[in-house]
Amino acid sequence: MAAPQTQTPPAKQEQSGSLPPLTRRELLNYIWLGSLGVFLAEMGGIGLIFAFPRFREGEFGGKFTLGAVQEVFPEPDGDPIPLNEGKFWLVRTEENQILAVYRVCTHLGCLFNWQPSEHRFICPCHGSQFELDGTYITGPAPRSADRFVIELVDPASGQVVAQTDKFGNPLGCTR
Ligand code: FES
């Protein structure tokens, strides 16, 4: 008499060596966790972009003819004059020096404004403050404002040119 043959049930054969099928709840959990991961990665990347200053020293360039000294320089004790073409403020300091202070905030690049009542520049974005000559006072900006070199190119007509430079040297003014 032949021995009886044993056979594994078909359902057990299919399951051995493979993962159990995902339930609907597990699938939704994986999708939700994946979406959360993508969202957090995007937020982290955006945060990193905003955490670093947009401009470093001397990263901008340009040469701007301002016009005659008598027409463009601020009066003694006068408010700074904005020159929009070059994005800078023309400033006369208490020491009677003329400076071109770059209007772009060294934090994240907003254009800061002169506040006559406070006698300082204040950035509207995050509140960084700078003195009349661009020196850093307070706020998230990492350093003082940049300054342009100012050059008197034609003393006869008083034509003045402002040009970017890493340090920006003031021009003594005798007017
Ligand atoms: Fe942030 Fe000016 S851009 S303080």
- Which CATH number do you get for residue 84? 2.102.10.10
Whether residue 154 is contained in a domain is answered as yes
Q: pLDDT tens across 17-53, in order?
A: 677 888 889 989 999 999 999 999 988 888 777 666 6
User: What local confidence, expressed as pLDDT, does residue 61 receive?
Assistant: 52
pTM to 2 decimals? Answer: 0.61
- Where do runs of H (alpha helix) occur along 16-171? 24-51, 69-72
Q: Is 161 in the pocket of ligand 1 (CB under 6 A)?
A: no
User: What local confidence, expressed as pLDDT, does residue 175 receive?
Assistant: 43
Range of the domain at 76: 69-172
Whether residue 8 is contained in a domain is answered as no
Whether residue 51 is contained in a domain is answered as no
Q: Is 104 in the pocket of ligand 1 (CB under 6 A)?
A: no
Q: Is 108 in the pocket of ligand 1 (CB under 6 A)?
A: yes
The residue whose two tokens read 């009542």 is 117
Closest ligand 1 atom, residue 123 Cα: 2
Check the CA dihedral 8-13-15-16 and report its sign.
positive
Q: How many angstroms separate the alpha carbon of residue 71 from the centre of ligand 1?
A: 31
Instruction: Tell me: pLDDT of 159 over 90.
Output: no
- Supply the residue whose CA is at minimum distance from atom 1 of ligand 1: 126
Closest ligand 1 atom, residue 141 Cα: 4
Whether residue 92 is contained in a domain is answered as yes
Q: pLDDT tens across 78-124, in order?
A: 899 988 777 889 898 888 888 889 888 989 989 999 999 999 999 99
| Ligand 1 pocket test target in 108, 120, 146 with most atoms within 8 Å of CB | 108
**Total domain count, the chain:** 1
Across all residues in the chain, what is the average pLDDT? 78
Whether residue 41 is contained in a domain is answered as no
Rg (CA), the chain: 33
User: What local confidence, expressed as pLDDT, does residue 1 receive?
Assistant: 47
